Structure 1
Amino acid sequence: MNPKKILVVDDEPSISMLIEFNLKQAGFEVQCVFDGEAVFEKIQSFRPDLIILDLMLPKMDGFQVCRKLRTQNNLVPIIMLSAMHELADKIAGLDHGADDYMTKPFSPQELVSRIQAILRRMSALPEHVDSTSISLGDIVVYPAQREVKVHGNPVELTPKEYELLLFLCKHRGKVLSRQQLLVGVWDYHFLGDTRIVDVHISHLRDKIESNTRTPEHIVTIRNVGYKLTDPSSHKHKASLA
């Protein structure tokens, strides 16, 4: 099996070298670039399976890089690195399309663990649901093809948004706490920071719900978490009543 490819984007040579060394020790193929603009040329030739992206970069910062990749429908998983520890900065990174966020200084072993978790979850996704398709009213999920359609139209989800939706589908009708979603979708504990779940739920609703103010599919269970429902089944039961 060919090693997974990781692109490291950081303008501090010492940090790039540290990350590169540890990732190669873990069996990854690694290449590094040192400014935001270089990302777009490198991904054409290197085709990374995941990007480690520093926030503060010359020419184009990490937010801009992340946003541009997503507007180009490039769904490569992104772990954003930053020296900023505020929750608002983490949320901003996720809002721009990052799948995960780590603050400096960080443990190289934890970075490797998070990379492995993301890649493991992605490779295992088609096996999580046996159905060839999952229908939830006007939403249809095709696990084998990793596709989602709403009203018959394809919807572009980031890898983490897709994993979250598929996990909700697997447990549809069940109330899931934010901590359960963290463990099930991110494959590790987020040290109590469950806001990452709320951010991804918000993004997912923006893409699949007709009305995000009164969502029909992903329902908030106050003080607990979320539940995925099928509104068409409710309508069917009502018609039989």
Structure 2
Amino acid sequence: MHIAILEPGRVLAESLMDWLEEAGHRYTCCSNLPEFMACIRQQGYDLLLVDFRCQTAACFEEIEAGVLNNDRRIPLLFISEPDCEEEIVLALAHGADDYIVKPLKPEELVSRIHVLIRRFAIVDEESRAEVQTYGPFVVDHQQLIITRDGEPVSLTGKDFRLADFLFRHQNQLLSRHRLLSEVWGVNQDVNTRTVDMHISRLRKALMLSGTGYEIQTVHQHGYRLQSNQNPPE
């Protein structure tokens, strides 16, 4: 497995490289964001490991662009400083699939990497049913796009996964914590505003009015994609 690392600190970078090498993984380590982005555009990686202080959504959006490489979603593990909940929320809202808080423990880090890789392998296997149709919407798992009446819907990688999960579980009440677990792969105590942010974006992007679908907010419980459509083809 080949892992791309973004780590500006020399001491921690050396530790990360040692831990990954001991676990049998190859790595490419970058010390700054432009170098990291150039690497992941030029070569395919199995996982991205990012330790970078992003203070704005724009910074995370630049990294998020890297998780789609050659039409293949690359899992992203974010390294956070202690007590940086806002940064964690931003990371999860813009492409991160899991996070780990400093100080790092090598066994936990390697374990989280393996869990992410296994989870993405399962998703890839399930996605071999490449295309599913839900009323006017077509979900293409091969191209990672959703079309509405034949027109592509502009979605981030995370928004695509959230929309796909909602369509596959239509008419079911889904709690915010379940969505965090199933879509983001996060089971820790994270502020659930990240789910609300993505649901809001999804409503605008999908333009559900008149399609037979509606994303309902169930107060204090979560969300439901209500449908009067037939089962997917």
TM-score with structure 1 length normalisation?
Answer: 0.73
User: Mean Cα displacement is larger for which, 121-130 or 138-147?
Assistant: 121-130
User: How far is 1:109 from its partner?
Assistant: 3.2
Q: Give the distance between the partners of 1:50 and 1:163, measured in 2 at CA.
A: 17
Deviation sequence 1:48-98 (CA, Å, 0-9, x none):
2322222238xxx89655323445865544333232523322223334443
CA contact (8 A) 1:56 1:62 kept: no
Report percent identity of matched pairs.
29
Alignment of 1:102 with 2:100, yes or no, is: yes
Q: Which of 125, 143, 152 is the aligned partner of 1:154?
A: 152
- For the residues of structure 2 that align with 1:69 and 1:192, how far apart are their CA atoms? 21
C-alpha separation in 2, matches of 1:154 and 1:52: 30
Aligned residue in 1 for 2:49 = 52
Match of 1:229, SS state, is strand
The corresponding residue for 1:239 is none
Aligned residues: 224
Identify the residue that residue 39 of structure 1 maps to in structure 2.
36
Q: Residue 178 of structure 1 contacts residue 197 of structure 1 at CA under 8 Å; is this kept in 2?
A: yes
User: Over the residues paired in the alignment, what is the CA RMSD in angstroms?
Assistant: 3.3
Pick the aligned partner of 1:217 from 200, 214, 217.
Answer: 214
CA distance in 1, matches of 2:128, 2:8: 44
Larger relative contact order (CA 8 Å, sep ≥ 6): 2
Structure 1 residue runs without a partner (length 5+): 234-241
Does structure 2 conserve the Cα–Cα contact (< 8 Å) formed by 1:54 and 1:62? no
Supply the distance in 1 between the matched residues of 2:181 and 2:65 (Cα, whole angstroms). Answer: 28
* Deviations 1:197-228, CA, capped at 9 Å, x for gaps: 334434433432357xxx95332211111212
Alignment equivalent of 2:62, drawn from 57, 64, 68: 68
Deviation readout 1:133-168 (Å, 9 max, x if unpaired): 333333221235433213322235444333333332
Distance in 2 separating the partners of 1:114 and 1:201: 26
Unaligned runs of 5+ in 2: none
Structure 2 residue matching 1:174: 3-state secondary structure = coil
Asked if 1 retains the 8 angstrom alpha-carbon contact of 2:89 and 2:190, the reply is no
Measured after TM superposition, the shift of residue 187 of structure 1 is: 4.0
**Aligned partner letter, 2:62:** K
1:13 aligns with 2:7: no
User: What is the deviation of 1:34?
Assistant: 0.5
